Every structure is written in structure tokens, then in C-alpha cells.
DNA sequence: ATTTAAAATGACACTTCTGTCATTATAATA
DNA sequence: TATTATAATGACAGAAGTGTCATTTTAAAT
């Protein structure tokens, strides 16, 4: 019994993502979110009592998705290409992550907890990339004259290479060539 | 005659930069800025009547510096290494640029004008990097099987490889090796 | 049809940033 | 020392976001 809910976590997350991508952290507030959802602002407080809680909860959700996919990638044949392909799919994640530093992590206990989880997931992500590169090193496919953490940073940074003048597939192809072989002939 | 100014554009720019680097766009407002400068908030309005004007004016200033330095780099022996070294010096510029999308560019005519100039300077920057890469191609030092714009994006993205566990010099060295030669042995 | 539990809502008080302006302070000049 | 031009300041009104709560709406159960 009782009245049926008009919004669910799925829509909440989807509109949160869209709002941040279009307006950034400064433009992310419950008034704008309510407008997108077609409900009154106060309605959102029935789901999350602070915008920081909604945001960090969503971020954790997003990172968990990506970490899971990295696991699949690491079991693939060409793991480096797999990573680049994953970056292509989650290119917007990076933009989402950039709002992290501005979140007041001490807003509530819940936020604090989610923030810790986010940090842990990001570390896990870097760790998994590192393992992949080390596997490639052992297979003799990757150089050993450079600090492994620099190479991890290098692979992670490639997510930011802008695309989208050609197809996503050709982006993956070209970026993989560059990350593996560099600029040189 | 008249009272002497207590702040100048140099300090204004410096504190603007520091404030954005530490608090992002959300934390950039005249109250915080006045605190850093040690003056009343209303004092800043004697210099800039909108925060968007101050911000865009500063951005133009910053971009002009970098564009000028790219010119020097392009006349260097190893231009690609020169670019990476420049990225090392201006690593924070990228973080500054990320606030651009959130600026209300129609705040005033002045802001509109500066925003146009910023876009032009960014395009000029990319253009200069492109020319450098084309020169390297003609010298036979760089591959020709990948869209030039993808390569420009690749070089620009390398600014985001995190450093700073080792020295800045070893960052330049390692990142140059990676950008030129990739991960492969 | 009535009851009821849960969800949605609008109104209210609060906080923070914005932009202006009359007043006050100060350095140079007469 | 008195004058004057310019800079700095605090106070004010306004705009926008936050979080709460009493009231209203609605779907299901009786």
C-alpha cells in the first residue's frame, strides 16, 4: 500500500550524470536536478538528504562498473588494446571524476564512507592497470626501462585524447598504436 | 595624487590562480579572494566588476604565455621533448582550463570578448603543436599512418600524466621516451 | 466507499554570494 | 597645513541554493 514512487535510483543516477556532464559541479544542484526529473525539489530529499550523498553514491556505482570491466579486460588476449577500448567507452568517467576534489567529504558520515570507497576503487583501478602492465612486461612485450607508475599514468592519461571526428573504432585503433608504439616510425 | 593602490594585477592573478588550484571553480568567489589578498571584498570591484571578467582576463594572460613558449620550443632541436618539458612546467594550466566550460561567457561584453580570445589561443596552441608534428614528419622522424589530429591529442594528453614521485626532470625524460617510443620494447 | 501508509509538494527560515553606494582613509599637491 | 583626487571600506538589498516540515495527493487494502 501507499503511493507509488515517481522516480527511481536509475533515473536519479542518469540525470545526475547528464547534469554534471552538461553543467559541471557548479551547476549540479537539486533545483536543476528536480527540473530534469520533473518533480519538486523537495521530492529528491526523500531519496538523498544531501547532494554530496547522491553524488558520491553515484560515483561509487560508476567506478564499480569500470573496475569490473577491467577484470574482464585483463583476461583478454591483447590487454592493452582492451584497456584503450574501455577508455573509449567510459571517456566521460574522467570528466565525472574531476568533480571529486570539490566535494565536501565531511558533509555526513555516509558521504565520508562513500568518499573512502571511491578512493579505494580508484586505487584498485590503478592497481589493476599496473598488474596488466607487469604481465605484459613478463611476456616480454613491454619495456622495463621506465618506472612502472609512470607507465600506468601514461596509459590512464590516454583516456583524454579527444576523438570523435572519426569513428570510435578508429579512435581505439589509432590510440592503441600510439600507446604501444609512440610517435616514432 | 590620490591614494595609492594596495593591490595590483600581478597579485590579483597570482591569488586567482592559487585559489582555483586549491578550491576549483566552485570555491572561486570574491569573498575567498579578498581574504587571500587581505582587502575588503568590495575593493576587488574597483578592479573587476565581475568575477568572470577577472577569470577570463587571467586565462588569456596564461594562454598567451604558453603560446609564446611553444614558439620557442618549435625552433628547438628536439621539439617533441621541448613540448613535454613545457607541459611539465605548465601542468597546472590544464587544471585551470577545466573551469572554462562553467564560465558564463555572456556575463558582460568584456567576458564575451575574452572568451573568444581564449578559444582562439587554444586553437592556436593546437595549431602550433600540429605544425611541430608535421615538421617532424617531414624530417622522417614521426609516423604517417595515423591522423595528425589524433597525434596532436596524444601529445596534449601527456600533460596529464601525474608525476612528482621522482624529480620533474626524470618525468620529462620518461614521458618523452613514452610519447616518442610507446610502451613497446 | 473508506481507510491508511507512503510519497510528493509548497512554504518557510536560513545561509552564502553578488553588486552598489555613501562614507571614510590616504597620498600627493598647492 | 589645507585641499583634492583616488582608493578602500562596511552596510545594504537582492538573488540563489539548502534543508525541514506540515499538508496534500495517491495507490492499495479493507
Q: What is the pLDDT of residues B44-61, one digit of tens each?
A: 999 999 999 999 999 999
Which CATH number do you get for residue B92? 1.10.357.10
Model pLDDT, residue A28: 94
Given a contact cutoff of 8 angstroms between Cβ atoms, the answer to whether A53 and B54 are in contact is no
Is the domain of B56 the same as that of B93? yes
Q: Which domain holds residue A30?
A: 1-47
Nucleotides in chain C with any atom closer than 7 Å to protein CB: 4-11, 16-21, 25-29
Model pLDDT, residue B97: 84
Which spans in B24-158 are helix H? Answer: 30-37, 41-44, 51-74, 79-89, 91-97, 109-138, 148-157
Given a contact cutoff of 8 angstroms between Cβ atoms, the answer to whether B90 and B66 are in contact is yes
Instruction: Give the span between the Cα atoms of A66 and A71, in whole angstroms.
Output: 9
Which CATH number do you get for residue B5? 1.10.10
User: What band does A164 get if pLDDT is binned at 50, 70 and 90?
Assistant: low
CA of B4 to C1' of D5 (A): 11
pLDDT tens by residue, A5-47:
999 999 999 999 999 998 888 889 999 999 999 999 999 999 9
Please check the confidence at residue A96 and state whether its pLDDT lies above 90: no
Shortest distance, CA A119 to any CA of chain B (angstroms):
16
Shortest distance, CA B136 to any CA of chain A (angstroms):
10
Rounded to two decimals, the pTM is 0.90
Is the domain of A95 the same as that of A156? yes
Is the domain of B163 the same as that of B119? yes
pLDDT tens by residue, B97-154:
888 878 888 889 999 999 999 999 999 999 999 999 999 999 999 999 999 999 999 9
Shortest distance, CA B65 to any CA of chain A (angstroms):
23
pLDDT tens by residue, A142-161:
999 999 999 999 999 999 99
Is the domain of B114 the same as that of B174? yes
Instruction: Give yes or no for A42 touching B (CB within 8 A).
Output: no
Query: Among A11, A32, A47, where does a domain finish?
Result: A47
Model pLDDT, residue A168: 81
Please state whether strand D lies within 7 Å of residue B43 at its CB atom: yes
C9 C1' closest Cα residue = A40
Is the domain of B135 the same as that of B160? yes
Q: Which residue of B has its CA nearest to A153?
A: B161
Lowest mean pLDDT among A97-101, A162-166, B2-6, B142-146: A162-166
Instruction: Give the span between the Cα atoms of B101 and B133, in whole angstroms.
Output: 28
Is the domain of B164 the same as that of B179? yes
Interior CA angle at B150 toward B144 and B154, to 5°? 105
Is the domain of A68 the same as that of A158? yes
- Total number of domains constituting chain B: 2
Instruction: Give yes or no for A21 touching B (CB within 8 A).
Output: no
Amino acid at each position: 500500500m501507499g503511493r507509488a514512487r515517481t522516480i527511481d535510483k536509475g533515473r536519479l543516477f542518469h540525470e545526475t550524470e547528464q547534469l554534471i556532464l552538461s553543467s559541471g559541479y557548479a551547476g549540479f544542484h537539486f533545483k536543476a536536478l528536480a527540473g530534469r526529473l520533473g518533480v519538486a525539489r523537495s521530492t529528491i530529499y526523500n531519496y538523498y538528504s544531501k547532494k554530496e550523498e547522491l553524488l558520491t553514491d553515484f560515483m561509487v556505482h560508476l567506478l564499480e562498473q569500470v573496475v569490473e570491466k577491467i577484470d574482464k579486460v585483463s583476461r583478454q588476449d591483447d590487454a592493452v588494446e582492451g584497456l584503450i577500448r574501455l577508455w573509449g567507452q567510459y571517456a566521460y568517467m574522467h570528466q565525472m571524476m574531476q568533480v571529486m576534489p570539490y566535494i565536501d567529504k565531511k558533509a555526513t558520515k555516509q558521504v565520508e564512507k562513500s568518499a573512502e570507497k571511491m578512493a579505494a576503487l580508484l586505487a584498485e583501478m590503478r592497481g589493476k592497470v599496473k598488474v596488466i602492465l607487469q604481465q605484459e612486461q613478463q611476456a616480454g612485450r613491454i619495456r622495463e626501462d621506465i618506472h612502472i607508475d609512470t607507465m600506468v599514468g601514461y596509459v590512464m592519461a590516454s583516456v583524454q585524447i579527444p576523438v570523435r571526428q572519426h569513428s570510435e573504432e578508429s579512435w581505439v585503433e589509432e590510440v592503441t598504436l600510439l600507446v604501444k608504439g609512440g610517435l616514432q616510425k
